[in-house]
Amino acid sequence: MIPGGRAPEYIRNYPDCQRIIRHFFERAKPVAQLCHAALALAAAGVLRGRRTAAYPALAPDVRAAGAEFVDAEAVVDGVMVSARAWPDHPAWMREFVRVLRAVG
């Protein structure tokens, strides 16, 4: 789970954070990401070709990373589940639990 808020602006700059994110994507492990988390995924280079929700102001950043920005409360792309912000928590977590059950 990669949090939203302002933290991703900072954690994306840590090589260990990028390494951990790439590890999950390279091994197709489930990832839940919310709000500004797309910044960390973009820095790790894992968004290209994906569909993702994010905080709406990040739509240009998502597109610049090669992904499709989707303005929805829960977007499932393979084993990645994304959402815009905290009001989307119920739908986002419901979809992530479905992903976890499917792979588990």
pLDDT at 95: 98
**Mean of the per-residue pLDDT values of the chain:** 97
| Domain boundaries along the sequence of the chain | 7-103
The confidence band for 104, taking pLDDT boundaries of 50, 70 and 90, is confident
> Residue 63: what are its φ and ψ, rounded to 5°?
-65, -40
Q: Which pLDDT tens digit goes with each residue over 18-67?
A: 999 999 999 999 999 999 999 999 999 999 999 999 999 999 999 999 99
Task: Say which CATH topology domain 7-103 has.
Answer: Rossmann fold (3.40.50)
Please give the positions annotated as active site. Answer: 35-36
Contacts for 71 with CB less than 8 Å, ≥ 6 apart: 53, 56, 59, 84
Let me know if 59 is exposed, middle or buried by CB neighbors in 10 A (0-12, 13-18, 19+): middle
Order of strands across the sheet that contains 80-83: 31-34, 80-83, 75-77
> Residue 76: what are its φ and ψ, rounded to 5°?
-105, 125
Place of tokens 């990373």: 65
Contacts for 28 with CB less than 8 Å, ≥ 6 apart: 78, 79
